[in-house]
Amino acid sequence: MQATPPANVKTTAWIRRLFTILFPAACALVLAGPWWPPHPRGKPDWPEAVLLLLAVAGTIAALTRHLPLQNILFAAGFIGIAGGAAEWLDLKTGIPFGQFAPGANAGPELFTALPWALPFVWVAAILNSRGVARLVLRPWRKNHGYGFWLIGVTAALAALFDLALEPFASRVNHFWFWTPVKAPLSWQGVPLANFLGWLVVTLLILAFVTPMLINKQPHKKLPPDFQPLAVWLGGILLFGAAAALNRLWAAAAADAAIGIVTAVFAARGAGW
């Protein structure tokens, strides 16, 4: 007789099914934002909030295929706290990302400074970047040094995700605003130090959470998991489409290039 799956397995399976249906719908709602009635000042745009929370829930549910739920929740909690702490420190000191200030559309703040969504952004960005990196590096998963390459590629993908996110967040939706810098090295008004900061902070976070994200049954060959790619690439394409709708052509072109190149490498790795 076939064993009955545990309750948490059934729950996460339902979340994955709902994610498959609701994630594209939420992306469409976000793109339709310019035609929605204005929201009250100081409140977040609810489609963006729904999309972000859905992405995090779907990401955690997808990881339960390979990892214990308690490991995933610990890793997600650590990423959210560490990423949020780095953002809070930056809001107070301008280090490590550069000086920026929350906008009225950012919604409620944590600890009188930190927009509530930023810890969730870090969770979605890092966990899905790691999933994409696993696809890209799949042909070399048994090679010596694979773990270090996985951490490095994950950090690079997280920084690229933030590069695509910034024009969407700061110039399209005004969730936050960057203080102009004297140095000419900036992207869409964002100092390049921000992306270097994302790279370094992601590396530090992964140094702590990677042991919790390692599959303890490496001998069992698992099929490639495309959900992280769907979330990561869906975000990139959403940011690019929003940039194009607002005539930020350089940002839209960069997002398209990032999405195409990453998709090609991920598809190549998954087919190995």
Contact 87, 81 (CB under 8 A): no
Distance CA(33)–CA(152), nearest Å, equals 35
The larger pLDDT score, comparing residue 111 to residue 190, is at 190
Query: For residues 44 and 105, is the Cβ–Cβ distance under 8 A?
Result: yes
Mean pLDDT check: name the lowest of 20-34, 58-72, 75-89, 183-197: 20-34
Query: Residue 6's pLDDT is what?
Result: 42
Query: What's residue 232's pLDDT?
Result: 95
What pLDDT is stored for residue 176 in this prediction? 93
The pLDDT of residue 106 is above 50? yes
Judge whether residue 138 has pLDDT over 50. yes
Say if CB 50 and CB 29 are below 8 A apart.
Answer: yes
Name which of 40-54, 156-170, 207-221 the model is least confident about: 40-54
- CA 11 to each of CA 7, 16, 22, 228: distance values in angstroms, whole numbers, following the listed order: 6, 9, 16, 19
- Indicate if the pLDDT at residue 108 is higher than 80: yes
> Cβ-count burial of 50 within 10 angstroms (0-12 exposed, 13-18 middle, 19+ buried)?
middle
Between the alpha carbon of residue 191 and those of residues 158, 167, 219, the distances in Å are 16, 12, 44
pLDDT band at residue 12 using 50, 70 and 90 as cut-offs: low
Segment among 2-11, 94-103, 227-236, 258-267 with least mean pLDDT: 2-11
pLDDT for the residue numbered 66: 83
What is the separation of C-alpha 263 from the centre of its chain, rounded to a whole number of angstroms? Answer: 16
Average pLDDT, the chain: 86
At 184, is the pLDDT very low, low, confident or very high (cuts 50, 70, 90)? low
pLDDT digit string (tens) for 204-257? 999 999 999 987 765 556 678 888 999 999 999 999 999 999 999 999 999 999
Most confident of 6-15, 33-42, 125-134, 180-189: 125-134
* Radius of gyration, CA atoms only, the chain: 18
Lowest mean pLDDT among 66-75, 188-197, 218-227: 218-227
